[in-house]
Structure 1
């Protein structure tokens, strides 16, 4: 099959699928992206496109998101047209993320080519990020700005032949009128490549030695240290955890930028803001900010962690939550609907009130103090992820079935076995 992938940040949610297809051979795979430099995947041709328009800094707020999406969509469409004209490439199927408008004009290029679009999130006034945190002021303009952001999925539901959402919670953020075009299936986690490792170790330059499972290590991770992923709650719980567990060390993974929500006004970002608030109460010799780390190092960190903290407001489920569960981590997360889809409290993880740093500290301290009481959670978490979110056995067959449903049978992709 000839497949065109479209994602501004290649490979995005197609990480496992595109690599699996490339490994099978016999398919012509092209990936259209804004990423520069783009990652190179054997068997995949990468083509970069440029947006044709970016809104001015003072652009009208209600049209700003659509202006940017239209620029990205037109840029992607022009790159697709050039692919056909210069290289004769016309796909049998297009797969792409709808959130940035990249797919908006593909039917104007190829009216007869089916499109399978990834739908990630629909902005509502209740049940998601907006209005969840009482410290975040919701002004009278927010409902209008929210609805204006949704112009992109409104346009793209008409552009696609089929929509894909990874979880039921995410599906239900969208209006019911979208649901008839959706199928729900996670992107997939390679649980065959993720497992516990009792022998995991990691060198810490500050200590001058490697740490192992014998050390009392707990961890926190987010792409960026921000409110949406509960960094402020974690930091407010940290002094008490370290005070009550004098031999414990915390390893913190993540950048200091913003993926979701407002920027911090602190010159050193949200991390600096929280250090100013609680830093005087911390034993800094036992606090290790590691920044963003290579994937293999991240796995080792999780494998040697006795308790992994993964906080979030109601928002899209992160891959890392499921990956840590696959590695049999004892995960403490937020008691919000998006997480409850993956974690049952006391069985496959532990859930605490997002806004209560005291309860978070209590739970982490108890896990560190009484690991035997929680020894059942890691294996149960892994079993749940293997049975529900495993890429090879659960998610890949469904994705291939849905892809095949859009093309003639002589172009179908075969599954092994």
Structure 2
């Protein structure tokens, strides 16, 4: 008997680029609803919705603007789904991400179909990303009020929750306690066969005319966008001291100049521009290489070459890049924040420093660069951690499929 799984994700395939083909390989039918930026997968019908209403976005109170965008997406998904149901679509399971409001009214069209929510993060009034960094915390009560109201769609989604899926224990802990009994902790998975220490290990920086191989004093930093949520300001403030301690160190920074989370710097522009202006002549820019976003294979080459990879984050969603770096056998210095501590134990499979202490970060990096061989055991353990806990084929995908079967049954 063929079963049908409906995926709803504004940027499909999103987290499901491995799960979708796995379902299809075993004979399940997959249908997807996504936003304008969604990308099709082979043999997967993709129906795109337009989140903008024909008459434009109506005016509303500024506090309600975020909620309104989610309501608009909920309506657009429902209007996309309704004709599919009339045409005969009968899903046995719906899988989606509630973060953009897309699942808010799915139960009104499919009241008897279980819905699996991808629960990445629930906003925290205390102890999460907002208010963590005092440099970017406003004392005004309005910031707290806005955060409280931004939680409303998340709490509405939890009220209708059949089952939730969180990638890490700390991210699961952001869900209110009364809903956690309907939650599984399963990561999306890392392809540790392809993302491994073995493979191309020479990094070419063509514009700089440089080439790096393992053993060179290379420090790496990677983020989707270079911004304070991922500790970019701390990393940059560390560099002048590191350059004095290690005159031969070369720094490779991967990431865009937009904003994924948080806000742009005061006065506009990018955080890269803001930090370069702040550091001025204290920074030797000849040894700092901003390469922008790079293809995945190049990123993995960087992880195989780097002498030390730095990963910093406020208490927020854990980046795939950390696990991919560890899977490549990179030595990671991470921030001693809860999402990172889910994965790295200081001195066992990596090193940890205080998120705000850029001097301690520079000194720890310098010590690693001065004598890398004693840290080889940390590299091996980092790789082993990902293989044992996050391997796509042997750990995560089988657990995801087992959960799907349980919900459809």
TM-score tier by shorter-chain length is: over 0.9
Q: Would you say how many aligned residue pairs link Structure 1 and Structure 2?
A: 404
Identify which range, 371-380 or 389-398, moves more after superposition: 389-398
Counterpart residue number, 1:238: 239
Deviant stretches of 4+, over 6 Å:
none
Corresponding residue to 1:15 among 12, 17, 32: 17
Question: Alpha-carbon deviation of 1:93?
Answer: 0.9
Contact 1:94–1:114 (CA under 8 A) maintained in structure 2? yes
> 1:227-286 CA deviation, whole Å, 9 max, x = no partner?
110000000001121222222211100011111112213443111110001131122221
Task: Work out the CA distance in 2 between the residues paired with 1:209 and 1:358.
Answer: 28
Contact 1:197–1:304 (CA under 8 A) maintained in structure 2? no
- The TM-score, its normalising length taken from structure 1, stands at 0.92
Counterpart residue number, 2:345: 344
Task: Work out the CA distance in 2 between the residues paired with 1:407 and 1:49.
Answer: 26
Task: Work out the CA distance in 2 between the residues paired with 1:281 and 1:52.
Answer: 47
Question: Alpha-carbon deviation of 1:209?
Answer: 4.8
Counterpart residue number, 1:373: 374
SS at match of 1:262: coil
Task: Work out the CA distance in 1 between the residues paired with 2:215 and 2:185.
Answer: 41
Contact 2:23–2:29 (CA under 8 A) maintained in structure 1? no
Question: Alpha-carbon deviation of 1:345?
Answer: 0.2
Counterpart residue number, 2:154: 153
Identify which range, 96-105 or 40-49, moves more after superposition: 40-49
Counterpart residue number, 2:301: 300
Question: Alpha-carbon deviation of 1:52?
Answer: 4.8
Q: Residues 234 and 93 (structure 1 numbering): CA distance in 2 closer, same or farther, change over 3 Å?
A: same
> 1:361-415 CA deviation, whole Å, 9 max, x = no partner?
011111111101211111101101111111221112221121111223xxxxxxx
The alignment's C-alpha RMSD in Å is 1.7
Identify which range, 133-142 or 375-384, moves more after superposition: 133-142
Q: Structure 2 unaligned runs (5+)?
A: none
Q: Residues 267 and 160 (structure 1 numbering): CA distance in 2 closer, same or farther, change over 3 Å?
A: closer
Contact 1:91–1:113 (CA under 8 A) maintained in structure 2? yes
Counterpart residue number, 1:141: 142
Contact 1:119–1:153 (CA under 8 A) maintained in structure 2? no
Identify which range, 202-211 or 4-13, moves more after superposition: 202-211
Contact 2:332–2:350 (CA under 8 A) maintained in structure 1? yes
Task: Work out the CA distance in 2 between the residues paired with 1:17 and 1:271.
Answer: 36
Contact 1:241–1:365 (CA under 8 A) maintained in structure 2? yes
Q: Residues 141 and 383 (structure 1 numbering): CA distance in 2 closer, same or farther, change over 3 Å?
A: same
Contact 2:199–2:301 (CA under 8 A) maintained in structure 1? no
Task: Work out the CA distance in 1 between the residues paired with 2:171 and 2:226.
Answer: 22
> 1:197-248 CA deviation, whole Å, 9 max, x = no partner?
3751122113435321143211001111111100000000011212222222
Question: Alpha-carbon deviation of 1:330?
Answer: 0.4
Question: Alpha-carbon deviation of 1:160?
Answer: 3.2
SS at match of 2:5: strand
Q: Structure 1 unaligned runs (5+)?
A: 409-417
Contact 1:13–1:187 (CA under 8 A) maintained in structure 2? yes
